[in-house]
Chains A and B, each alone.
Chain A
């Protein structure tokens, strides 16, 4: 665990998140500031100028810990806000109980929620569209993306430590089952979910 200088609780949409929700992405930058607060400005400007937009966007499938330390504060703030909103939506499903949608409807499996949260933390939501998060009657946590009916991704966490998805990427279909939760979504899918 990387420590932040001043742990705080994040409050979004009425939900409070503990300081340890703050992602590695953010804490790396804090650490950087702490070690070289003045030098970083000049260095960062020079580095940003030297890196093309394409190179920056090539990090779209990287996990938070792999994001380069050149991202400005505005992007960081947006990233924190969006990922915490997604996590808040996932965790809100924990309030559902068995029978929430009639007989045989199941509360979410705790591990499904944990898996969905872990997965969400791997996605750079400052560059990737956020999913519609829902709970299914079998307890699955579902992420759904629909970009103008052209790009559709239906991804589910059943609590097994893996995820499965169906994607329709402008007519090209992909069906993948039981991908271990620590493996990021395929670069092809991520590319299609990128914010323009």
Chain B
């Protein structure tokens, strides 16, 4: 899907609670040991280039989070590879920081759009709008951001409910 920067300033779904604001926190699930190396560090492959380029890299908007929904999603995703997804992780990222990364042309590399789904109104997607050949480098920036504030899903939910 081809998006341009202006798309994130326009509501993308009739179900959307509104465009994703810079000050919003978005969440992304990950799994250990699938996405975590032997030193406990998040691997770049946790972020699919294909998702960034064409399918959208799914995130949850914390402001509109349905805890039951994300818990079910986490269980479903973990059940696909039970041996590789023994622990569910979650990262929190500020939308503004995702949008701050630049491509080789010094233009915004990622957009965050509000593509709410019927079953998940908090759904948003990150797309890489730079040239495809930059996707590997750019996903490493996103990987660093994702790794900055990553914890177990159980810890996050406990904190969220406090």
Contacts and interface: CB of A to CB of B under 8 A. Distances in A.
B69 interface: no
B106 to A, nearest CB: 15
Q: Which range holds the interface residue count of chain A?
A: 20 to 34
Interface string B38-60: 11010111001111000100000
Contact of B41 (A134, A149, A156): A149
Interface stretch (B6-14, B89-97, B132-140): B132-140
Interface stretch (A20-28, A29-37, A47-55, A97-105): A97-105
Contacts of B41: 146, 149
Interface in A121-142: 132, 134-138, 140, 142
Contact of B38 (A132, A137, A149, A175): A132
Contacts of B68: none
B105 interface: no
Interface residues of B, number: 24
B34 interface: yes
Interface string A155-168: 01000000011101
A107 to B, nearest CB: 13
A165 B136 contact: yes
B45 A136 contact: yes
Given A132-B43, A136-B45, A146-B41, A177 B50 contact: no
B80 interface: yes
B80 A177 contact: no
Contact of A154 (B35, B44, B55): B44
Contacts of B23: none
